[in-house]
Structure 1
Amino acid sequence: MSDAGIILQTHGLTKSFKGFTAVNDVSLRVRRGSIHALIGPNGAGKTTCFNLLTKFHAPSSGSIHFNGADITALRPAHIARMGVIRSFQISAVFPQLSVLENVRVALQRKLGTAYHFWRGRQSLSKLDGRAMELLDAVGLAGFSHLPTAELAYGRKRALEIATTLAMDPELMLLDEPTQGMGHEDVETVTALIKRVSAGRTVLMVEHNMSVVSSIVDRITVLQRGAILAEGSYDEVSNDPQVKEAYMGTTDEAADLHARAEAA
């Protein structure tokens, strides 16, 4: 994999908390235009790794490069302005606002007008056209004026993806996008991620192997904060170390692999 095709790269990324090493010497390479997944058992360091990449935590050592630029010392807001936008495990939309207003807030942030409270509502209407385009892209155009609190859980996650897209990300970081969803919502959001990934790069943490097997190009497996294996879904799902560390016993691994293949 040549450096020219790499959008995000870490070298020896490490984070320790009072003697506990949560991320240990992680060197990650994410190819531009791909969907790349971080997987691993609970406590493997996946979310901490996300926090390092988006600068919610400062690394204890190592470096992070985005589009060839060293971003290790930059602040989260600077990283976001460069095009690295993250969603969270828990839906991060504003329940008291309408669906349309949530997307409009994200568009205001992108324009740098999020805190211009003295502006009248009418002055923000110029954002409605783009907001509706984004809602249409995630299948929510028909819910634009509904209070967000009334949306079903799966639709709230779709709205979160729309607000992420409103920030015009070059690299989207999705933290457990299908967590807590029923089967139908999982299928809908999986198809949505695949659709909106066109022209972008997606790095995601995901436990659902059906999702991983169906849309991900490359997988990095973490165990105890370190990289255990990397490769395609077939490569990592057949790796004996991965089966033991991530999928549990051999029987459990075989069952999980069979279910993922059938999905």
Structure 2
Amino acid sequence: MQESRLAGEFILETQGLTKEFKGFVAVNNVDLKVRRGDIHALIGPNGAGKTTFFNLLTKFLPPTRGKITFNGTDITHEKPAQTARRGIVRSFQISAVFPHMTVLENVRAALQRGLGTSFHFWRAERSLYPLHERAQELLAAVDLSSFANELTVNLPYGRKRALELATTMALEPDLMLLDEPTQGMGHEDVGRVTELIKKVASGRTILMVEHNMNVVSSIADRITVLQRGTVIADGPYSEVSRNPQVIEAYMGSADAALQGAH
């Protein structure tokens, strides 16, 4: 009984998750619990193992040892496509949009993929009409309605990131993995995308890797800090930001950002 209650409370758990590359330990015995409905941030200095950890979760790398449980099911040895079908969708690792399609066409293509059909680009355009209304809703959710007929290649950088959020949401993920969602953005775009993440998190669970501590402090319910592949702190921002080990880990790199976000 206790076990099934916990399976309901935590959407994702890793136990002793470890990845070694020829003797180098990139992810070291990581125990992580992501609570359903939370925005959970994974932070740490460069080389801390955050990207490797994401690659383990999405099955692009096999773990050396350890266990990954999603919605109470052991998914450790599944293939990437199986894991994606379960509702774990990663965004922002690379641009997830087609530059020479319109904004609306990009979202409709993602919706079509979500239906489990392949990209039938050769089919009549009218076959995509039933998806039109949902696509418009998703564009409205990320404030892109006025850009619907714009070619994606012409969008400003921050708006492309908003479109990636919309295409990720089109796949109806249970767990959204956001990889550096505000990387390379100016101040105004950071603020806009942060608000959008907060908005789309409603009714969803988000695990995000993010360097910007102002973003993390403003939207994360919980934070896990990695250093050299090992978890050195886990908890709410107010607690983690005062942890001496965390402050030391960030000295000379993101320390100013860590302190500045108090």
**How high is the TM-score relative to the length of structure 1?**
0.94
Shift in Å, 1:17: 1.4
Equivalent positions of 1:203-242 (< 5 A) are: 203-242=207-246
The count of aligned residue pairs is 258
Equivalent positions of 1:1-263 (< 5 A) are: 2-245=6-249, 247-248=250-251, 253=255, 255-261=256-262
Q: Deviations over 1:155-201 (max 9, x none)?
A: 00000000000000111000000000000000000000001100000
Q: Deviations over 1:111-143 (max 9, x none)?
A: 122233442111112111111100000000110
Amino acid in structure 2 at the alignment position of 1:214: S
The answer on whether the counterparts of 2:56 and 2:63 sit within 8 Å (CA) in structure 1 is yes
Q: Deviations over 1:41-69 (max 9, x none)?
A: 00000011001001111111111000100
Shift in Å, 1:91: 2.4
Amino acid in structure 2 at the alignment position of 1:158: A
The answer on whether the counterparts of 2:113 and 2:171 sit within 8 Å (CA) in structure 1 is yes
Amino acid in structure 1 at the alignment position of 2:218: S
Measured in 1, the distance between the counterparts of 2:150 and 2:108 equals: 14
Shift in Å, 1:2: 4.4
Q: 1:117 to 1:156 in 2, by over 3 A?
A: closer
Measured in 2, the distance between the counterparts of 1:257 and 1:207 equals: 10
SS of the equivalent of 1:55 reads: coil
Measured in 1, the distance between the counterparts of 2:93 and 2:75 equals: 24
SS of the equivalent of 2:185 reads: coil
Q: Which runs of 5+ in 2 are unaligned?
A: none
Q: Which runs of 5+ in 1 are unaligned?
A: none
Identical positions, percent: 65
**How high is the TM-score relative to the length of structure 2?**
0.95
Measured in 2, the distance between the counterparts of 1:257 and 1:60 equals: 32
Measured in 1, the distance between the counterparts of 2:122 and 2:216 equals: 45
Shift in Å, 1:257: 4.1
The answer on whether the counterparts of 1:222 and 1:228 sit within 8 Å (CA) in structure 2 is yes
Q: Deviations over 1:222-245 (max 9, x none)?
A: 000110111111111100100001
The answer on whether the counterparts of 2:158 and 2:185 sit within 8 Å (CA) in structure 1 is yes
The answer on whether the counterparts of 1:89 and 1:179 sit within 8 Å (CA) in structure 2 is no
